[in-house]
Structure 1
Amino acid sequence: MSNDAYTPSAARYDHTPYRRAGRSGVLLPPISLGFWQNFGEDRDETTLRRIMQRAFDLGVTHFDLANNYGPPPGAAESHVGRILHRDFRAHRDELIISTKAGYHMWDGPYGDGGSRKYLLSSLDQSLERLGLEYVDIFYHHREDPETPLQETMGALADAVHSGRALYVGISNYSPEATRGAHQLLAERGVPLLIHQPSYSMFNRHVENGLLETVDELGVGIAAFSPLQQGLLTNRYMSGVPAGSRAHGSNGSLTERQVKDKDYQTRVRGLSEIAHERGQSLAQMALAWALRHPQVTTALVGASSIPQLEQNVQTMQNPDFTAEELERIDEFAIDGTAR
């Protein structure tokens, strides 16, 4: 990694319309930087460092991780930890750093799920990789029907009471489980800060009760995969480029998804509306997800600085007319390209 010193932009807070997470005291940028699938050991750490620096210069104060982000699992936290130590030690209090546990992380019966054993052990490992004394938000990454919700929420509450996390969140929870988590945490004197569901024009499940639930409870939303892993960009409108997620057998997308006729029709229709708005398709998709006041931030990955800059520019045109939303609904169909 380069040894040149990093000095943040003095204007980094001048143009970001920070948004409140529910009814908490926490403000987040509308676009946050996520590290799922793009900060693994196959990436050049100097490039990763430049992306994090540029994000902070643009007012992106929220970096989102999980224990198993990589590849391999843990690699993203290790990369970010080294970069935080190198460039951000003097700015730790200007950052919101989150991590999660809930999916498979290590072998044996204690490396997955929602048990107290797994969650607190994983948090300790994450803190070691990140080189931090605490994270700002610690999430349970998924519902675990095998573990009592009371045990899982008790572990999250103890993460706060022990000083290892300032706030807690949940991810991939149903509206009903969200209510239960909120109540159990409140009984332990810990607020549920935020919920992290997948939400995009092609994955609209949060509109079936979750938006109303978090609004009632005063919980924020951090939407992940708002670009549907690249499907809501212009990247796949002319086929499958080499090196993309849909290229090869190990990608998170498949060529079948990209070549699906319904997908191609819908993505082209959405792209035309975005062009009329003076936006890229990605920018319109992000603005569309953020149009709900319950959605505090949208998490985006970035493989390059230009990609990051384009996404952050989304908020230059965040509003939609009723006619635009009606036209978008013709193409923004839940379940597209699954």
Structure 2
Amino acid sequence: MRAIAFKETGGPGVLRPVELPDPEPGPGEVLIRVAYAGVNYGEVQHRLGDFGEPEGETVTGLEAAGNVAAVGPEVSGFAIGDEVAAYLPAGGGYAQYVVAPAAFVFPAAGLDLRTAGAAPLVLTTAYGVLAGAARIGAGDTVLVHAAAGGVGSVAAQLARELGAARVYGTVGTPEKAEYARRFGYDAVFPREDFPGAVREATAGRGVDVLLDPVGGPTRLAGFEVLAPFGRTVVYGEAGRHPDLELPVLPLWKNNRALTGYNIGDLARRAPETLRAHARAALDLAAAGRVRVEVSAEYALADAPLAHELLEAGRSRGKSVLRVR
């Protein structure tokens, strides 16, 4: 099969087209003939070595959509040819075929395969961050950093579905602010001076939930705009800053909370919870209540370009690779 792989970590140029043996599904697995694969920052991290060094030719890609090509033992509910979308905790989506755990494979009903290829990771992450880590409640006010990104573009919509009263976002450029507003944000602020804008928008109260995939100084500044019992949810480190060393006393003295969300850990330790989050979010998308917008499509061979733009912060929304 054709695939895009890397065998050493580094810049986008380490991604190369290769020919690899077709995989075969084992017990509890489904083989998918890939039509589209989503492009995510997690795959940039994989290529850069944040998940460890590659062992031989390594294929990244954390989500994909296509048709069921085969099912392994102990798998039911799927037929050859079914259109499906899958979260791929072990990667492998940048290829013509990928094996996925059956627990994380979902019917693509209501979604075309192009959209379905962009949905499983970002929808599940946004839903899990809001409903699981943040424990969002009716009437909450939410602030989302990277509001024009893949997760950010669906997070505002999901926050509304889960009861949020007001949803604000931050972005790095004016062009991204214009794009993010299309997804239901009440206001979108420049990230470099967001604390003052948030305090003004909330009459000084602050926000109940803050979604932070950026890190560094942005994360520190976010604590200052939390309302009483407000919680910051960390679910990424796109800024690639050194880890923060946070004192605990200010959390106690200011009624603040810090929590985290990592989809890979959830897949290992609570797969039933992850599946429930994915199913709920995908059902909302299939019903048309949440929109997953594909803003850019690349040929499989152009994966390095897609990575280059994403890593440089020059992309917006969700990008996919066209595999067939």
* TM-score normalised to structure 2 length: 0.30
* TM-score normalised to structure 1 length: 0.29
Counting helix residues as a fraction of each chain, which structure ranks higher? 1
Counting strand residues as a fraction of each chain, which structure ranks higher? 2
